[in-house]
A and B are shown apart, each in its own frame.
Chain A
Amino acid sequence: MGLKAEELLEKSRSRVAKKLGCSPDELLFTSGGTESNNTALYGAANQLKRSGRRIVSTVIEHPSVYETLSRLENEGFEVIRLKVNGEGKISESDLFEAVTQDTILVSVMAVNNEVGSIQPVSAARQAILRAHSPALLHCDGVQVFGKMPFRPSDYGIDLMSVSSHKIHGPKGAGALYIRKGVKISPRLFGGEQEGKLRPGTEALPAIAGFGAAAAALPDLKAEFDRAKEKRDYLVEKLKAVGGIEINSPADALPFITNISVLGRRSEPMLSFLSENGVYVSSGSACSKGKKSRVLVEMGLGNDRLESPLRISFSRFTTFEEIDYLADCIAQARRIIRAK
């Protein structure tokens, strides 16, 4: 039985590795994106702390990166968070300027989770090379994995986090890509599993599901193009509704579209939409008075900050569903009083 389990574990590892274009022994299974990000950042910072204290990242990272870096900041590291422009993107020149010789870690997400903006990850590698810095390059790849062709080795990435449930796998599994030859310090201790970096009995049911979901991924290039058509269709429909601003840049990952329905706060919109079977989010944790950090950093006005909706597609989303979504948003706009 143990052998079978071992076999299934390694089969799942190969399946996920294949989609990342890496070798199976470069993959570490975790409980999900949050753990992968924590493991990578803490592990890299501690591994390299003798070479420097400087970490370069962005202001729009997912909380599991953003807050881990804040923690490292409290522990004495210097964290530089690069600003984004109105399209939610950091600039290459800022990267070149920020990465210095004593920088030990650069963490840039591939695709932002709230607006879908694609970040210049390969420029981060160039910046590290140009500065002759020992820095490791970490990339939060949770949003990009399974959505468009993206091999960490093509971008010179050392560490990349991915998650199972973002590709229709079960919740509770994720992986961290660690390029061959890269060493990070462990944070958990007490077992031989996963190269001693993630000790503890593996959550095989979730991992096997992750592997199966990875194996079931279609041709990503074709899927990406189809998603673009759907996104363009959605944008057109929303323009017809009127009173809606698109917060995502035109060249965003087409699976994520962030909009603001002007004058209609997110909370009633979400509650109306969910009553009608449409499940979108307001982007950040939906709470009174709390504005999305990402949208604030993009410099959006108050009217847009109060009313964001984050619409995400899967590869199974249909044009009919988009019609229905647009109808529901139009209806909600009519019914809900402007504040």
Chain B
Amino acid sequence: MDEIILIKNGELALKGLNRHTFEDMLIKNMRQRLTGLGHFDFSNEQSTIVVKPRGDVTDMDEAFSRLCRVFGIAGLSRAASVEKDMDTILKAAEEYLGEKLLAARTFKVNAKRSDKSFPLGSPEICSETGGYLLSKFHHLKVDVHNPDIIVNVEIRDTAAYIHGNQVKGAGGMPVGSSGRAALLISGGIDSPVAGYMMAKRGLQLTGIHFASPPYTSKKAEQKVCRLLEKVAMYSGRIVLFIVPFTEIQEQIKDNCPEELFTLVMRRMMMRIAQIIAADQNCGALITGESVGQVASQTMPAIACTEAVCDIPVFRPLIGMDKDEVVAISRKIDTFDISILPYEDCCTVFTPKHPRTRPTIPLLEKAEQALDIEPLIEKAVKGVRMVIIHGYKNDDEGEI
């Protein structure tokens, strides 16, 4: 008996002639995500992708939990793969699902026969399997409407698969299928969630972080890396660009009216982000803004930031309440990291009374005091690149 993982893809079935491209992308993403756990074979069998481990795979629990975070998967289950012989199938169902059957009170059997040369039809497979399990587990009752566990028996061309309840997948579309976009990430609660949400829609992420040493510390930078590691468990590898931002912030502080600090800063960030985005083939920017959350996120303020952008800015949290965002950040495990109390670039020189109804001419006037082009050029030149992986192998690192 071999254990395999069955993958049901979600929206992919809708994609018509592009389906194969999407499936190939999904398989590539899964393969990448399983790196370090051994070799796996992937095959496409009638709307299901079958993931078969080779002999060197020892940790199927980890493999399964990683695949639960791959976008483009609607549901997945671990299954036993056995010879297409009814006796073998019955024994395998008893053995492989034994613990789950012991914990359940009611069950039903679903059978699917795509190999029509198999001697029994689906109803016969159901009744035979059901009868056998009832004879082995006396506490079980059949409930076809609302069973605790569904015993699935699938007769395929090459083998029979036996599995219990399907687990819900991460949903969405395979990362990369919608192209690439650049996520502006500060270290707060919102931006990692925004990244997660857009990756779910198939965007591959590039990270951009603005660092202002010594006002912001190495720890703040580490925090951003740790946040992106969590996001990368869903989105796959993320290339992070760290932009030196100190000089720009000091220039803003020294030369611009205090009530506009934050907005001038955000406009500078957007300008720099677009240069990096263009260089990295990113078709859009992603931010964690939500209307009215803070002074720089009122509608007039967003209009002022938007005004310097030539590419779309995706703001997936735009209509969400803070508690909704927090709920997602807890789900993806970024919340506890986000609330670590390190200063980030957005809080370095916060004005006491920021202007909530700024206008574009007002900002353009404030920016005349800055030498914008050289400042941006210098910042872009100083960019550092860090590659973020969602999973580290235990044997990496010093100890």
**Chain A residues engaging chain B, CB cutoff 8 angstroms:** 267-272, 274-275, 287-288, 290, 332, 335-337, 339
Q: How distant is the Cα of A270 from the Cα of B253 in the complex, in angstroms?
A: 21
Q: How distant is the Cα of A43 from the Cα of B168 in the complex, in angstroms?
A: 52
Other A-B contacts than A268-B215, A271-B215, A339-B349, 13 sampled, CB-CB below 8 A, are: A267-B342, A268-B343, A269-B214, A271-B213, A271-B216, A271-B217, A271-B219, A275-B213, A275-B214, A288-B342, A290-B341, A337-B250, A337-B349
B218 on interface, CB distance cutoff 8 Å: yes
Q: How distant is the Cα of A273 from the Cα of B213 in the complex, in angstroms?
A: 11
Q: Which residues of B contact A274 (CB under 8 A)?
A: 217-218
Specify which of B214, B341, B349 is in contact with A271 (CB 8 Å cutoff).
B214
Residue of A nearest to B220 (CB): A271
Interface of A (DSSP majority class): helix
Q: Which residues of B contact A275 (CB under 8 A)?
A: 213-214, 218
Contact A268-B214, Cβ < 8 Å, known A287-B341, A337-B253: yes
State whether A336 touches B214 (Cβ < 8 A): yes
Q: Which residues of A contact B250 (CB under 8 A)?
A: 337
- Interface magnitude class on chain B: 10 to 19
Task: Tell me, rounded to whole Å, the shortest Cβ–Cβ distance linking A325 to chain B.
Answer: 16
Which 3 pairs between the two chains have the least Cβ-Cβ distance?
A: A272-B214, A271-B217, A287-B341
Q: Which residues of A contact B218 (CB under 8 A)?
A: 271, 274-275
Interface of B (DSSP majority class): loop
Residue of B nearest to A273 (CB): B214
Q: Which residues of B contact A335 (CB under 8 A)?
A: 214
Task: Tell me, rounded to whole Å, the shortest Cβ–Cβ distance linking A231 to chain B.
Answer: 26
Q: How distant is the Cα of A43 from the Cα of B335 in the complex, in angstroms?
A: 38
Task: Tell me, rounded to whole Å, the shortest Cβ–Cβ distance linking A102 to chain B.
Answer: 41
State whether A267 touches B343 (Cβ < 8 A): yes
B251-269: which residues lie under 8 A (CB-CB) from chain A? 253-254
Residue of A nearest to B348 (CB): A268
Q: How distant is the Cα of A271 from the Cα of B218 in the complex, in angstroms?
A: 7
B218-255: which residues lie under 8 A (CB-CB) from chain A? 218-219, 250, 253-254
Residue of A nearest to B340 (CB): A287
Task: Tell me, rounded to whole Å, the shortest Cβ–Cβ distance linking A302 to chain B.
Answer: 14
Task: Tell me, rounded to whole Å, the shortest Cβ–Cβ distance linking B216 to chain A.
Answer: 7
Residue of A nearest to B343 (CB): A267
Q: Which residues of A contact B219 (CB under 8 A)?
A: 271
Task: Tell me, rounded to whole Å, the shortest Cβ–Cβ distance linking B244 to chain A.
Answer: 13
Task: Tell me, rounded to whole Å, the shortest Cβ–Cβ distance linking B75 to chain A.
Answer: 43
Most A C-beta atoms less than 10 A away, residue of B214, B216, B342: B214
Q: Which residues of A contact B215 (CB under 8 A)?
A: 267-268, 271, 336
